[in-house]
Amino acid sequence: MAPRWFRVCRSWSLEFHDIHMNTISEDLLKALYSRPVQSIRLANAKFEDQQSFSTFVGLFPQLTNLDCHQVSVKNPRRIPVEERCSALHTFRGNQSPDIWRLALNGSLGSSKILRKVILNDVTYSDLSFVGLFLQRSSTASALEELNVTHDHARQSAAVKHAWKEKPPVLDVSHVKKLGIDIHGRVRDTYLRNPLEVVLQWWMKSLAPPEKESSLEQLTIVVGMNKGSIYIAQDAGATWKALDLLLTDGRFPALQSVRVVIKVWKPTTLKKGERQKGLIQRNCPRLKRSQKLHVTIGHVKTKDNYFMKTHLL
């Protein structure tokens, strides 16, 4: 009988959850890596350090899909970059930059063949590292989809100043599908109008000077909690600027712009509808071309239907 923390799915997909990975027996590991495993999901799993995580992933040369949810390392000591050859092309990582940095720097397999990357809980200080990965991926032309969510929690007032100055711009002009999540929590970002500041920064990243974008689908997730303070009523100018940018001829492949408004209690869906109207009114070109789609829903738990079907 398989342990409760382990499951083998069809097509040799593995799942490990609620486990410290050094408790797995050598015999079980040998039995697993002799199989053509293509997909692994790790949830609430802990590794001793980056080296043990990298070694574990390296046991599966046919691995193409790696999903890490709340995966951490006990010892945060960074390891030297040692590029591996693998088939990994889809990576989802959250919570710990100690984990997702390994995927982006090539330690889990060549970062040049990654086609889909989902990074959760990206802080301001992580942006330059993501930028280096994007520079490398632009020359390889493999990366098609990038989803980046921000977790600015408990960062210092220096971060506020940095956002207002000139944060490093990411060149995402080669990405076909881009998803960005703007938390919009004043107490976490130290910004009075986080939506405007962060979205305006992303707009600079979307269209570097003298470059035509390959963007086909853009998803923007924004949050509402305790009223319109998080999506300010006067943010219409920012949405209008986005509308003008995406319709100025530099985005010939653009097919859809999806805005997802997630609402927490005590904010009501009615207040969310007002913000939906604000966005639609200030994006007339995208709306006229039927490329704009605004969705609103109540976020009750992390596992509810709206979160699963509409968020990144």
Residue matched to tokens 């039995």: 31
How far is residue 39's CA from residue 20's CA, in Å, rounded to a whole number? 19
Task: Provide the 3-class DSSP secondary structure of residue 291.
Answer: coil
Residue-wise pLDDT for 219-244, tens only, equals 998 877 654 445 555 678 889 999 99
Mean pLDDT of the 14-20 span: 90
105 touches 81 (CB < 8 A) = yes
Residue-wise pLDDT for 192-224, tens only, equals 566 777 888 889 899 877 789 999 999 998 877
Mean pLDDT of the 42-67 span: 89
Minimal CA–CA distance to 273: which of 283, 265, 263, 282?
Answer: 263
157 touches 191 (CB < 8 A) = no
Tell me the CA distances in angstroms from 178 to 136, 219, 238, 288, one per residue in order: 17, 6, 19, 22
Which pLDDT value is given to residue 280? Answer: 95
Comparing 21-25, 53-57, 255-259, 295-299, which segment has the lowest mean pLDDT? Answer: 295-299
Comparing 14-23, 94-103, 152-161, which segment has the lowest mean pLDDT? Answer: 152-161
Amino acid at 192: R
Which pLDDT value is given to residue 153? Answer: 47
Residue-wise pLDDT for 77-92, tens only, equals 666 656 665 678 898 8
**Percentage of the chain exceeding pLDDT 70:** 75
75, 76, 77, 79 alpha-carbon torsion, rounded to 10°: 110
Q: Six-digit token pair at 289?
A: 């071309």
How far is residue 146's CA from residue 157's CA, in Å, rounded to a whole number? 28
Sequence spans of domains, the chain = 172-312
Going by the DSSP 8-state scheme, the letter that residue 188 receives in this structure is H
Q: Six-digit token pair at 27?
A: 């015999």
Mean pLDDT of the 40-50 span: 90
pLDDT at position 188 over 50:
no
Which pLDDT value is given to residue 109? Answer: 72
